[in-house]
């Protein structure tokens, strides 16, 4: 099945953002990370478990009338480090944004270990998580060295 065909599974949008190559089953968590829910009033469409040559299956998300910024891309990287992001204007791709997790995630999320020094309000330290691997994603706190609970990270967004 071609790429083009897959993209057409979801209605074309006039303006907004298309997030492709989201790991299958992670679309909801991506929306959570981006803070998009029923209160945000932008139309969102998604397809789950689309066949993908590269990934087996994947999810695709389209968010209308909203262009992701760099901060949001950094959050997205924590759920879908290999996602392809396209900004759509007037029904065509105006910009392609790449996700680069880099070696460290700084000031995006807080360490998920409750006794970490970064949870002490009297120690205002930058929040630093080291990226050990992206497939699968493995993060470790710069300060306490604890591996991070990816499920819990979404609740620790800064």
What residues make contact with Zn ion under the rule CB under 5 A?
A: 111, 113, 116, 141, 143-144
Give the nearest distance from C-beta 126 to Zn ion in angstroms: 12
Strand partners, 57: 51
Nearer to Zn ion, 12 or 117 (CB): 117
CB closer to Zn ion out of 137 and 141: 141
Nearer to Zn ion, 6 or 156 (CB): 156
Q: Residue 43: CB partners within 8 Å, gap ≥ 6? A: 63, 64, 65
Distance of closest approach, residue 114 Cβ to Zn ion, in angstroms:
9
Nearer to Zn ion, 49 or 120 (CB): 120
Measuring CA to CA, which residue among 51, 50, 23, 17 is closest to residue 36?
Answer: 17
Residue 21 vs 110, nearer CB to Zn ion = 110
Smallest separation (angstroms) from Zn ion to the CB of 25: 28
Q: How far is the CB of 82 from Zn ion (least distance, A)?
A: 26
| Least distance (Å) between residue 78 CB and Zn ion | 15
């Amino acid at each position: 099945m071609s790429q083009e065909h897959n993209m057409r599974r979801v209605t074309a949008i006039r303006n907004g953002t298309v997030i492709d190559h989201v790991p299958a089953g992670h679309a909801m968590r991506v929306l959570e990370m981006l803070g998009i829910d029923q209160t945000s009033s932008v139309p969102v469409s998604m397809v789950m478990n689309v066949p993908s040559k590269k990934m087996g299956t994947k999810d695709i998300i389209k968010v209308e009338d909203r262009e992701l910024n760099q901060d949001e891309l950094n959050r997205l990287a924590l759920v879908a480090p290999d996602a392809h992001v396209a900004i759509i204007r007037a029904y065509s791709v105006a910009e392609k944004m790449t996700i680069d997790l880099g070696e460290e995630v700084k000031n995006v999320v807080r360490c998920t270990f409750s006794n970490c020094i970064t949870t002490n309000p009297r120690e205002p330290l930058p929040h630093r998580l080291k990226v050990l691997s992206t497939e699968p994603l493995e993060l470790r706190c710069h300060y306490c060295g604890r591996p991070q609970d990816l499920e819990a990270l979404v609740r620790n967004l800064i």
